[in-house]
Amino acid sequence: MRLASKSVRCRSLQAAVLERAAGFRGTRCFTLPEALWLSGHGFDDLLVAYPSADRAALDDLGRPGRSRGSPSWSTRASTSA
């Protein structure tokens, strides 16, 4: 289960929950900029829950050398019959 960052807005509390609470693994982030910020503060296993059109954040995500803690995201494909 992932910790939802939009429900726990304090970085130190997020870290404490991830370190101590059984059952939590990683963070589901509200935005890509937030995920990049958390990554810059040592968080890893980050999932961006919503699409992003933030060009600056997308450029930062693609910056060479950004590998450890880089956020990932999932997409749900729609199909029509």
> Does 79 map to a domain?
no
Largest CA distance in the chain: 47
Report whether pLDDT(10) > 90: yes
> Does 37 map to a domain?
yes
> Does 15 map to a domain?
yes
pTM: 0.77
> Does 18 map to a domain?
yes
pLDDT at 69: 58
Instruction: State the total domains in the chain.
Output: 1
Confidence category of residue 27, pLDDT binned at 50, 70, 90: very high
pLDDT at 81: 47
Closest CA to 27 of 18, 40, 36: 18
d(CA 75, CA 66): 22
**Residue-number span of the structural domain to which 69 is assigned:** 3-73
> Does 78 map to a domain?
no
d(CA 81, CA 65): 43
